[in-house]
Amino acid sequence: MASEPKYILSAGLGRFAALDPNAKAHFGPDAGAKTKEMLATSISKARAAGFEVIGVDINPQDPDDSLKRFTEQLQSSREWVGVNVGYGVRGHKEYTELFEKLLNTAWQVRPGIKIMFSNGPDEVITAIKRSFPEAFAS
């Protein structure tokens, strides 16, 4: 019988990357689709190691809605073991307040949850490996 996956909530720009000038400069005019494709690769690798990455797209232009959706995910019945925040959300000073609210919410809703930071959608797997090295030991 397969064991229950270890759930990670990953907060990144996702579909809203196309609205972010920094993401468009880095990933091109189709930033939303490009980041989604890159994240899918990380998710596949994480799944192979027993993790299920659930994404929540963060819209810096609507922080209240983003925080609401993030909180609803954390309050779900899943057994979350970690929260990842992508560079698109945490790497820009304009989004600092939203970034802080995401972290504080994670700790309020799920005390002691591991907090991870990825440097891009293709680096989510790297953040998971840093936080859960035992899952990747040979």
In the chain, what are the domains? 6-136 (3.40.50.9100)
pLDDT in tens, the chain (138 residues): 467 899 999 999 888 887 777 777 877 888 778 888 888 899 999 999 999 999 999 999 999 999 999 999 999 999 999 999 999 999 989 999 999 999 999 999 999 999 999 998 889 999 999 999 999 886
For residue 117, which of 82, 93, 92 has the smallest C-alpha distance?
A: 82
End-to-end CA distance of the chain: give it in Å, rounded: 22
Assessment of whether the complete model's pTM goes beyond 0.85: yes
Q: 97 is written with which tokens?
A: 């307040």
For residue 13, with 0-12 CB atoms within 10 Å meaning exposed, 13-18 middle and 19 or more buried, which class applies?
Answer: buried
Structure tokens at 87: 């560079």
pLDDT for the residue numbered 99: 98
Residue 24 CA to residue 18 CA, distance in Å, equals 6
